[in-house]
A and B are shown apart, each in its own frame.
Chain A
């Protein structure tokens, strides 16, 4: 048995890789103020996963991941189209589209796929505790399937961000200027969200839809409170995601609870810590800026 198929190593590595990929792409999403799209995408891919399973009888594999990712892109397209019609607000469009695709996915699974491991509980929370049971052999190495999928997606995500860093950054900060300069922010936006969908599908088996959203939103939100540069924000967000995996795993063993749930919850102390640090720093600055007489009278 190779090291990668060792249960503890497989669980920890999968958690870290999924966390890093989520935090990397999530940084741009959180800065754009589109965090809820992560929720929409990760729910909507269930529709695609159900369709891909019906068509091929498999739930994992490159074709299935790409196919299921399309349903995440479909969700974004529907949301954008509804919002652009100016008949619905953005948040209403999100709230309308993803529960619809999610529930169609649930119904498809209930009707056609009673016997497979796709049940509602796994869909929501995943089963990272069992990732080491489902393995494939790559170049003589026995690798858990979820680990291979999340490593591949992290690699693709990282290459995408490195190659299009300028365009992603400008499309996030000032889409108007990006467009005026010919850097097609709309195209960048869809490419980014397509990868987020693909990553959500790859992460799906391991952590489920709800926990994936945690990794996309919480580490970048915490890093946003700590960092003054985009590059350091991304690095800190990915570090928080990496640290949350062993922290959550330890907590899960100790309390005998869901590993995925504990890993997601383990991002919370980082957010609370970042929030408190930011408040403390702002208060200290505010006090330093006050003339002594004023601070004396206000403390009296």
Chain B
């Protein structure tokens, strides 16, 4: 394995959209992710669930090289992230930016193309058209020239998704896209993601609502600093894995009536 790691030009696990091996990330002395091994095949809509502090956002950031890795490696379609930048879209948590920034919806979406434009070129007519088409995909074309602070939380989230879609990514990473949005927006976001999957793209979503995971995703990762379980929904969604991931908190979920099968493959 070490010889493969040494030569980054040789594709390593190219048949996987995402391949993570031995990944450890620490903030100070505290490990946020510990010895992560994770493989996600292309064309799935994958959910990542786990309690607060499980390292879900950190996992996305580590894939994108936004946080330093203490150990391990990440390959996207067989290659390191740096060579795959243009194939990857990232939707950070909505609260990570200042929505009072003086800019419009279509301008935020155009920012998704800055990587392709590079350091020197300015966005022009073509980029604006592409941004408008991306806004259309999320049903926001009517609000293209709206100041972003005047948008509702759900509309802001859709602008953020359009900003990733404008890149036409093969792999899309979303950090809690359903947090703080109304039911209608949540429905339309999951429709957009399902459509992207049917186009053959790979989507990884950090998700917080256990009630909906089974309906929304076809692939699931249970994360709590370590990977507890990962695989096809039917194979890994079980009360045992929920308990191992969430510990005591899972009792609450059972009371709410979200009964999970005790063993995989019961359905």
Contact = CB atoms under 8 A, between A and B. Distances in A.
Interface of A: 31, 33, 86, 163-167, 169-170, 172-174, 176-183, 224, 227-230, 232-233
A186 B82 CA distance: 17
Nearest to B89: A180
Contacts of A170: 111, 114
Interface string B216-256: 00000000000000000000000000000000000000000
Given A173-B97, A180-B66, A181-B115, A228 B90 contact: no
Contact of B102 (A33, A167, A180, A233): A233
Contacts of A179: 64-66
B139 to A, nearest CB: 22
A8 to B, nearest CB: 35
Contact of B114 (A183, A227, A229, A232): A183
A31 B103 CA distance: 12
Interface residues of B, number: 30
B119 to A, nearest CB: 6
Contacts of B120: 163
B3 interface: no
B102 A176 contact: no
Contact of A182 (B61, B82, B104, B123): B82
Contacts of A178: 114
Interface of A is mostly: helix
Given A177-B90, A181-B85, A86 B114 contact: no
Interface of B: 28, 61, 64-66, 82, 85, 88, 90, 92, 96-98, 101-104, 107-108, 111-112, 114-115, 117, 119-120, 122-123, 147, 163
Contacts of B119: 164, 166-167, 183
A163 B121 CA distance: 9
Nearest to A181: B115
Contacts of A182: 82, 85, 115
Nearest to A188: B119
Nearest to B123: A166
A179 B92 CA distance: 12
28 contacts: A31-B101, A163-B120, A165-B122, A166-B114, A166-B117, A167-B119, A173-B103, A173-B111, A176-B66, A176-B90, A176-B96, A177-B90, A177-B111, A177-B112, A179-B65, A180-B65, A180-B66, A180-B115, A181-B114, A182-B82, A183-B115, A227-B102, A228-B102, A229-B102, A230-B101, A230-B102, A230-B103, A233-B102
A78 B111 CA distance: 31
Q: Which of B98, B101, B112, B147 has the most CB of A within 10 A?
A: B101
